[in-house]
């Protein structure tokens, strides 16, 4: 399951999607809306996505994980629209025979998601100002190659 | 030929539209679109360094050749997930 949604994310959707009888571990990650950025109070967040491309890129990340760890049970869902403090913006589930690979693959999925999946976050500050968030430095090191 | 061009996040706001149809010459590439946008919004050139383009949901380069009906998008630096 690779999905962009405007609905509340419970985590059950990704957990169920990776269920497998040979799994000894399911690693579940939630990204949640924090009430501040570097100490500045955030009122709420708005996420925007390019859904068909985002879902395609999520599927590609899953293929990368299959190659690196041999894990083929990965699910990702990201919410768009207005999100309040504490709400879940993204959930990733990875099922694997053993936990070590599952934790690594889940971490990898999130890192890649922030690099190649077209989703944008806008912070609306408590004072009413808004700002599109700039990416981490890692983004610029991992840009798809330009010719 | 006609292509659809989509704008997201900061591009959407600066250009004040989320998508449009563009009539382009038959030998058009992604660069043709960038040049045309630059005429309307010269500041956009500063963003080109960090911005990606996509054609039909795949990252593309300025030299990528376009075909009738293609869906092109300007992809500002992505910030999905959270800073965790």
Q: Is the pLDDT of residue A134 over 90?
A: no
What per-residue confidence (pLDDT) applies to A44?
84
Euclidean distance between the first and the last CA atom of chain A, given in angstroms as a whole number: 33
Euclidean distance between the first and the last CA atom of chain B, given in angstroms as a whole number: 44
- Taking only the tens place, the pLDDT of each residue in B59-84 is 999 999 999 999 999 998 877 665 55
B52 and A144 within 8 Å at the Cβ level: the answer is yes
- Taking only the tens place, the pLDDT of each residue in A62-88 is 999 999 999 999 999 999 999 999 999
* Interface membership of B50 toward A (CB under 8 Å): yes
Determine which of A14-18, A47-51, A131-135, B80-84 has the lowest per-residue pLDDT on average.
B80-84
Q: What is the pTM of this model?
A: 0.88
Give the A window 30-49 contacts with B, CB below 8 Å: 31-34, 37, 47-49
This complex has an ipTM of 0.89
If you average pLDDT over every residue of chain B, what do you get? 89
How close B77 comes to chain A (CA, Å)? Answer: 6
What per-residue confidence (pLDDT) applies to B81?
61
How close B84 comes to chain A (CA, Å)? Answer: 7
* Interface membership of B15 toward A (CB under 8 Å): no
SS (H, E, C) A27-87: EEEEEECCCEECCEEEEEEEEEECHHHHHHHHHHHHHHHHHHHCCCEEEEEEECEEEECCC
How close B46 comes to chain A (CA, Å)? Answer: 15
Give the A window 73-112 contacts with B, CB below 8 Å: 78, 89-90, 110
The Cα–Cα gap between A58 and A76 comes to 7
Q: Phi, psi (5° rounding) for residue A97?
A: -60, -40
| Token duo for residue A137 | 């430095």
**Which DSSP category does A88 fall into?**
E
């Amino acid at each position: 399951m690779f999905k962009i949604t405007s609905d509340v994310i419970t985590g059950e959707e990704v957990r169920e999607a990776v269920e497998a009888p040979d799994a000894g571990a399911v690693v579940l990650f939630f990204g949640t809306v924090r009430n501040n950025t570097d100490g500045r109070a955030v009122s709420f967040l708005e996420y925007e996505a390019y859904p068909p491309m985002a879902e395609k890129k999520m599927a590609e990340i899953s293929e990368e994980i299959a190659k690196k760890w041999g894990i083929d049970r990965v699910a990702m869902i990201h919410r768009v629209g207005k999100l309040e403090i504490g709400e879940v913006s993204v959930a990733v589930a990875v099922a694997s025979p053993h936990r070590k690979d599952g934790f690594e693959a889940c971490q990898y999925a999130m890192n890649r998601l922030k690099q190649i999946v077209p989703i944008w976050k806008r912070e609306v500050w408590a004072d009413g100002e808004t700002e599109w968030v700039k990416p981490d430095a890692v983004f610029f090191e991992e840009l798809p190659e330009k010719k | 030929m006609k292509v659809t061009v989509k704008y997201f996040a900061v591009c959407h706001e600066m250009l004040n539209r989320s998508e449009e149809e563009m009539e382009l010459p038959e030998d058009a590439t992604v660069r043709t679109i960038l040049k045309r946008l630059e005429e309307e919004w010269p500041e956009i050139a500063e963003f080109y360094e960090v911005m990606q383009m996509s054609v039909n949901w795949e990252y593309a380069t300025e030299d990528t050749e376009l075909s009738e009906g293609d869906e092109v998008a300007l992809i500002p630096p992505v910030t999905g997930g959270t800073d965790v």
